[in-house]
Amino acid sequence: MRIIDAGEIYEKMREVIMDAGVNLPPDVESALKRAYEEEVSQTAREILSQLLENARLARESRLPLCQDTGVGVFFVEMGADVKIEGGFIGEVLTRAMVDAYEKAYFRKSLCDPFTRENTGDNTPAMIHYELVPGDVFKISFMAKGGGSENMSRCTMLTPASGWDGIKEFVVKRVAESGPNPCPPIIVGVGIGGTFDQAPILAKKALFRPLDEPHPEPEMAEREQELLEAINSLGIGPMGLGGKTTALGVRINVSKCHIASLPVAVNIQCHSARYKEVIF
Protein backbone atom coordinates (compact mmCIF):
# COMPACT_ATOMS: atom_id res chain seq x y z
CA MET A 1 0.00 0.00 0.00
CA ARG A 2 1.35 3.39 -1.01
CA ILE A 3 0.48 6.22 1.38
CA ILE A 4 0.35 9.84 0.16
CA ASP A 5 -0.02 12.72 2.58
CA ALA A 6 -3.03 14.99 1.94
CA GLY A 7 -0.93 18.01 2.86
CA GLU A 8 1.54 17.22 0.07
CA ILE A 9 -1.32 17.03 -2.44
CA TYR A 10 -2.77 20.33 -1.23
CA GLU A 11 0.53 22.22 -1.44
CA LYS A 12 1.40 20.85 -4.87
CA MET A 13 -2.03 21.39 -6.41
CA ARG A 14 -2.38 24.91 -5.04
CA GLU A 15 0.83 25.88 -6.83
CA VAL A 16 -0.18 24.00 -9.98
CA ILE A 17 -3.54 25.78 -10.15
CA MET A 18 -1.97 29.21 -9.72
CA ASP A 19 0.66 28.44 -12.36
CA ALA A 20 -1.90 27.09 -14.83
CA GLY A 21 -3.78 30.39 -14.76
CA VAL A 22 -0.77 32.47 -15.79
CA ASN A 23 1.50 30.13 -17.75
CA LEU A 24 0.40 28.92 -21.18
CA PRO A 25 1.48 25.29 -21.79
CA PRO A 26 4.58 25.02 -24.03
CA ASP A 27 2.76 22.92 -26.65
CA VAL A 28 0.01 25.52 -27.02
CA GLU A 29 2.45 28.42 -27.24
CA SER A 30 4.49 26.54 -29.85
CA ALA A 31 1.32 25.89 -31.86
CA LEU A 32 0.47 29.61 -31.76
CA LYS A 33 3.97 30.48 -32.97
CA ARG A 34 3.70 27.96 -35.79
CA ALA A 35 0.28 29.34 -36.73
CA TYR A 36 1.73 32.86 -36.84
CA GLU A 37 4.49 31.76 -39.20
CA GLU A 38 2.08 29.94 -41.51
CA GLU A 39 -0.76 32.49 -41.57
CA VAL A 40 -1.35 34.45 -44.76
CA SER A 41 -3.89 36.92 -43.39
CA GLN A 42 -2.29 40.05 -41.93
CA THR A 43 -5.22 40.50 -39.54
CA ALA A 44 -4.84 36.92 -38.33
CA ARG A 45 -1.10 37.35 -37.89
CA GLU A 46 -1.63 40.49 -35.83
CA ILE A 47 -4.10 38.69 -33.54
CA LEU A 48 -1.77 35.72 -33.12
CA SER A 49 1.05 38.12 -32.33
CA GLN A 50 -1.10 39.70 -29.62
CA LEU A 51 -1.96 36.30 -28.17
CA LEU A 52 1.72 35.43 -27.96
CA GLU A 53 2.48 38.78 -26.34
CA ASN A 54 -0.35 38.20 -23.88
CA ALA A 55 1.16 34.82 -22.97
CA ARG A 56 4.54 36.46 -22.36
CA LEU A 57 3.11 39.23 -20.22
CA ALA A 58 1.01 36.82 -18.16
CA ARG A 59 3.99 34.57 -17.54
CA GLU A 60 6.28 37.44 -16.51
CA SER A 61 3.75 39.43 -14.45
CA ARG A 62 1.99 36.39 -12.94
CA LEU A 63 -1.34 37.89 -13.99
CA PRO A 64 -4.12 35.73 -15.49
CA LEU A 65 -3.92 34.77 -19.15
CA CYS A 66 -7.60 35.64 -19.43
CA GLN A 67 -10.13 37.48 -17.27
CA ASP A 68 -12.24 34.30 -17.35
CA THR A 69 -10.15 32.19 -14.99
CA GLY A 70 -12.56 29.33 -15.44
CA VAL A 71 -14.20 26.43 -13.69
CA GLY A 72 -11.79 24.18 -11.83
CA VAL A 73 -11.94 20.75 -13.49
CA PHE A 74 -10.00 17.80 -12.06
CA PHE A 75 -9.47 14.26 -13.32
CA VAL A 76 -8.10 12.02 -10.57
CA GLU A 77 -6.52 8.71 -11.60
CA MET A 78 -6.02 6.76 -8.38
CA GLY A 79 -4.52 3.32 -8.01
CA ALA A 80 -6.28 0.74 -5.86
CA ASP A 81 -3.06 0.44 -3.83
CA VAL A 82 -3.01 4.14 -2.91
CA LYS A 83 -4.25 5.58 0.36
CA ILE A 84 -4.60 9.31 1.05
CA GLU A 85 -3.72 10.01 4.66
CA GLY A 86 -4.85 13.15 6.45
CA GLY A 87 -7.88 14.15 4.40
CA PHE A 88 -10.48 13.24 1.78
CA ILE A 89 -9.14 13.85 -1.73
CA GLY A 90 -12.22 15.79 -2.87
CA GLU A 91 -11.98 18.19 0.05
CA VAL A 92 -8.22 18.56 -0.43
CA LEU A 93 -8.55 19.50 -4.11
CA THR A 94 -11.41 21.88 -3.41
CA ARG A 95 -9.42 23.64 -0.68
CA ALA A 96 -6.37 23.86 -2.96
CA MET A 97 -8.48 25.44 -5.69
CA VAL A 98 -10.21 27.91 -3.35
CA ASP A 99 -6.93 29.03 -1.81
CA ALA A 100 -5.17 29.25 -5.18
CA TYR A 101 -7.91 31.42 -6.68
CA GLU A 102 -7.86 33.68 -3.63
CA LYS A 103 -4.08 34.01 -3.45
CA ALA A 104 -3.66 34.58 -7.19
CA TYR A 105 -6.61 37.01 -7.42
CA PHE A 106 -8.37 34.83 -9.99
CA ARG A 107 -11.99 35.66 -10.74
CA LYS A 108 -14.57 33.47 -9.02
CA SER A 109 -17.05 32.39 -11.69
CA LEU A 110 -19.36 29.77 -10.15
CA CYS A 111 -22.95 30.69 -9.39
CA ASP A 112 -26.38 29.24 -8.67
CA PRO A 113 -28.01 28.25 -11.99
CA PHE A 114 -31.33 29.88 -11.04
CA THR A 115 -30.58 32.91 -8.87
CA ARG A 116 -27.16 33.50 -10.53
CA GLU A 117 -25.78 34.31 -7.09
CA ASN A 118 -22.01 33.83 -7.07
CA THR A 119 -20.70 31.18 -4.68
CA GLY A 120 -17.85 33.56 -3.83
CA ASP A 121 -15.02 31.04 -3.90
CA ASN A 122 -15.29 29.30 -7.31
CA THR A 123 -16.79 26.18 -5.75
CA PRO A 124 -17.78 23.55 -6.42
CA ALA A 125 -14.76 22.06 -8.12
CA MET A 126 -15.70 19.62 -10.89
CA ILE A 127 -13.90 16.40 -9.92
CA HIS A 128 -13.90 13.14 -11.88
CA TYR A 129 -12.47 9.98 -10.30
CA GLU A 130 -11.07 6.89 -11.98
CA LEU A 131 -9.93 3.88 -9.97
CA VAL A 132 -7.09 1.98 -11.65
CA PRO A 133 -4.85 -0.96 -10.68
CA GLY A 134 -1.54 -0.45 -8.90
CA ASP A 135 -0.16 2.52 -7.00
CA VAL A 136 -0.34 5.25 -9.64
CA PHE A 137 -1.72 8.61 -8.53
CA LYS A 138 -2.20 11.31 -11.16
CA ILE A 139 -4.20 14.53 -11.05
CA SER A 140 -5.04 16.50 -14.19
CA PHE A 141 -6.29 20.06 -13.75
CA MET A 142 -7.98 22.36 -16.23
CA ALA A 143 -9.28 25.90 -15.79
CA LYS A 144 -12.18 25.80 -18.27
CA GLY A 145 -13.59 29.09 -19.48
CA GLY A 146 -17.29 29.67 -20.09
CA GLY A 147 -17.06 30.98 -23.64
CA SER A 148 -15.58 27.81 -25.07
CA GLU A 149 -17.59 25.51 -22.79
CA ASN A 150 -20.83 27.11 -24.00
CA MET A 151 -20.05 26.05 -27.56
CA SER A 152 -19.70 22.37 -26.64
CA ARG A 153 -22.37 19.85 -27.63
CA CYS A 154 -23.33 16.16 -27.41
CA THR A 155 -25.53 14.25 -29.83
CA MET A 156 -26.72 10.71 -30.44
CA LEU A 157 -26.15 9.80 -34.07
CA THR A 158 -27.54 6.71 -35.74
CA PRO A 159 -24.98 3.92 -36.23
CA ALA A 160 -25.40 4.30 -40.00
CA SER A 161 -24.03 7.87 -39.76
CA GLY A 162 -20.51 6.47 -39.43
CA TRP A 163 -17.40 8.60 -39.77
CA ASP A 164 -19.01 10.92 -42.32
CA GLY A 165 -21.78 11.75 -39.85
CA ILE A 166 -19.29 12.30 -37.04
CA LYS A 167 -17.18 14.60 -39.20
CA GLU A 168 -20.23 16.58 -40.32
CA PHE A 169 -21.37 17.08 -36.71
CA VAL A 170 -17.95 18.20 -35.46
CA VAL A 171 -17.26 20.62 -38.33
CA LYS A 172 -20.79 22.06 -38.19
CA ARG A 173 -20.46 22.62 -34.44
CA VAL A 174 -17.27 24.63 -34.96
CA ALA A 175 -18.84 26.56 -37.84
CA GLU A 176 -21.88 27.44 -35.74
CA SER A 177 -19.63 28.49 -32.86
CA GLY A 178 -17.90 31.09 -35.01
CA PRO A 179 -15.92 33.60 -32.94
CA ASN A 180 -17.67 32.79 -29.63
CA PRO A 181 -15.08 30.35 -28.19
CA CYS A 182 -12.19 32.77 -28.90
CA PRO A 183 -10.38 30.94 -31.70
CA PRO A 184 -7.90 29.58 -32.49
CA ILE A 185 -9.44 26.70 -30.58
CA ILE A 186 -8.61 23.14 -29.64
CA VAL A 187 -11.37 20.64 -30.34
CA GLY A 188 -11.89 17.62 -28.10
CA VAL A 189 -14.06 14.87 -29.62
CA GLY A 190 -15.54 11.97 -27.67
CA ILE A 191 -16.90 9.08 -29.73
CA GLY A 192 -18.78 6.14 -28.27
CA GLY A 193 -19.63 5.11 -24.74
CA THR A 194 -23.01 6.36 -23.59
CA PHE A 195 -24.73 9.74 -23.56
CA ASP A 196 -23.02 10.73 -20.31
CA GLN A 197 -19.62 9.25 -21.14
CA ALA A 198 -19.04 10.87 -24.54
CA PRO A 199 -18.61 14.43 -23.14
CA ILE A 200 -16.14 13.11 -20.55
CA LEU A 201 -14.16 11.45 -23.34
CA ALA A 202 -14.16 14.75 -25.23
CA LYS A 203 -13.00 16.78 -22.23
CA LYS A 204 -10.25 14.30 -21.36
CA ALA A 205 -9.04 14.48 -24.96
CA LEU A 206 -8.15 18.15 -24.38
CA PHE A 207 -5.38 17.09 -21.99
CA ARG A 208 -3.36 15.40 -24.76
CA PRO A 209 -0.60 17.84 -25.79
CA LEU A 210 -0.75 19.30 -29.29
CA ASP A 211 2.68 17.89 -30.10
CA GLU A 212 1.56 14.32 -29.33
CA PRO A 213 -0.40 12.73 -32.19
CA HIS A 214 -2.90 9.99 -31.45
CA PRO A 215 -1.05 6.71 -30.74
CA GLU A 216 -3.27 4.88 -33.24
CA PRO A 217 -2.38 5.87 -36.83
CA GLU A 218 -5.98 5.68 -38.05
CA MET A 219 -7.18 8.02 -35.30
CA ALA A 220 -4.24 10.35 -35.94
CA GLU A 221 -5.31 10.58 -39.59
CA ARG A 222 -8.89 11.33 -38.58
CA GLU A 223 -7.75 14.07 -36.21
CA GLN A 224 -5.79 15.62 -39.06
CA GLU A 225 -8.75 15.26 -41.42
CA LEU A 226 -10.99 17.11 -38.97
CA LEU A 227 -8.37 19.79 -38.39
CA GLU A 228 -8.02 20.49 -42.09
CA ALA A 229 -11.81 20.63 -42.54
CA ILE A 230 -12.19 23.01 -39.60
CA ASN A 231 -9.40 25.31 -40.76
CA SER A 232 -10.90 25.43 -44.25
CA LEU A 233 -13.93 27.21 -42.70
CA GLY A 234 -11.93 30.45 -42.68
CA ILE A 235 -13.21 31.61 -39.29
CA GLY A 236 -9.65 32.39 -38.23
CA PRO A 237 -8.24 33.91 -35.03
CA MET A 238 -10.98 35.69 -33.05
CA GLY A 239 -13.35 35.07 -35.95
CA LEU A 240 -11.79 37.73 -38.18
CA GLY A 241 -10.69 35.39 -40.96
CA GLY A 242 -7.60 33.34 -41.65
CA LYS A 243 -6.44 29.76 -41.97
CA THR A 244 -6.03 29.12 -38.23
CA THR A 245 -9.43 28.40 -36.74
CA ALA A 246 -8.12 25.47 -34.70
CA LEU A 247 -4.69 24.56 -33.37
CA GLY A 248 -5.55 20.90 -33.05
CA VAL A 249 -8.21 18.20 -32.79
CA ARG A 250 -8.03 15.45 -30.20
CA ILE A 251 -10.19 12.31 -30.32
CA ASN A 252 -11.03 9.77 -27.59
CA VAL A 253 -12.99 6.63 -28.49
CA SER A 254 -14.89 4.04 -26.47
CA LYS A 255 -17.08 1.08 -27.42
CA CYS A 256 -20.81 1.78 -27.60
CA HIS A 257 -24.20 0.04 -27.84
CA ILE A 258 -25.07 -1.53 -31.20
CA ALA A 259 -28.02 0.87 -31.52
CA SER A 260 -26.10 4.03 -30.62
CA LEU A 261 -23.36 6.36 -31.81
CA PRO A 262 -22.79 9.04 -29.14
CA VAL A 263 -20.58 11.95 -30.21
CA ALA A 264 -19.52 14.93 -28.10
CA VAL A 265 -17.52 18.04 -28.92
CA ASN A 266 -15.78 19.93 -26.11
CA ILE A 267 -14.21 23.13 -27.39
CA GLN A 268 -11.21 24.76 -25.72
CA CYS A 269 -10.17 28.36 -26.33
CA HIS A 270 -6.65 29.48 -27.26
CA SER A 271 -5.97 30.02 -23.54
CA ALA A 272 -5.77 26.28 -22.90
CA ARG A 273 -4.85 26.17 -19.24
CA TYR A 274 -4.11 22.63 -18.10
CA LYS A 275 -1.53 20.76 -16.10
CA GLU A 276 -0.96 17.16 -15.02
CA VAL A 277 0.80 16.03 -11.87
CA ILE A 278 2.04 12.52 -11.12
CA PHE A 279 2.73 11.90 -7.44
Confidence (pLDDT) at 259: 98
Q: What's the distance, CA 230 to chain centroid?
A: 18
Q: Is 277 domain-assigned?
A: no
Tell me how long the chain is. 279
The pTM of this model reads 0.95
Q: Are 266 and 190 in contact (CB under 8 A)?
A: yes
Q: Are 131 and 244 contained in the same domain?
A: no
Q: Are 145 and 65 in contact (CB under 8 A)?
A: no
Q: Are 184 and 235 contained in the same domain?
A: yes
pLDDT digits (tens, 9 = 90+) for 184-208: 999 999 999 999 999 999 999 999 9
Confidence (pLDDT) at 140: 98
Q: Is 204 domain-assigned?
A: yes
Q: How confident is the model at residue 93 (pLDDT cuts 50, 70, 90)?
A: very high
Peptide bond just before 64 cis, omega within 30 deg: no
Mean pLDDT of 78-101: 97
- CATH number of the domain encompassing residue 81: 3.30.360
Q: Are 168 and 229 contained in the same domain?
A: yes
CA 150 – CA 266 distance, rounded (Å) = 9
Residue 169 belongs to domain spanning: 146-271
Q: Are 92 and 70 contained in the same domain?
A: yes
DSSP per-residue letters across 152-208: -EEEEE-GGGHHHHHHHHHHHHHHHHTTTT-SSEEEEEEEEE-TTHHHHHHHHHTTS
Domain boundary among 144, 162, 177: 144
Confidence (pLDDT) at 202: 98
Q: Is 56 domain-assigned?
A: no
Mean pLDDT of 4-30: 98
Q: Are 231 and 161 contained in the same domain?
A: yes
CA 250 – CA 265 distance, rounded (Å) = 10
Confidence (pLDDT) at 16: 98
Average pLDDT, the chain: 97
Q: Are 263 and 213 contained in the same domain?
A: yes
Q: Is 36 domain-assigned?
A: no
pLDDT digits (tens, 9 = 90+) for 213-259: 999 999 999 999 999 999 999 999 999 999 999 999 999 999 999 99
Please count the CA atoms within 13 angstroms of the CA of 233 that sit on its side-chain side: 27
Confidence (pLDDT) at 124: 98
Q: Is 42 domain-assigned?
A: no
CA 97 – CA 10 distance, rounded (Å) = 9
Q: Are 219 and 265 contained in the same domain?
A: yes
Contacts of 134 (CB under 8 A, 6+ apart): 79, 80, 81
Domain boundary among 79, 109, 144: 144
- Give me the number of domains the chain comprises: 2
Mean pLDDT of 208-212: 96
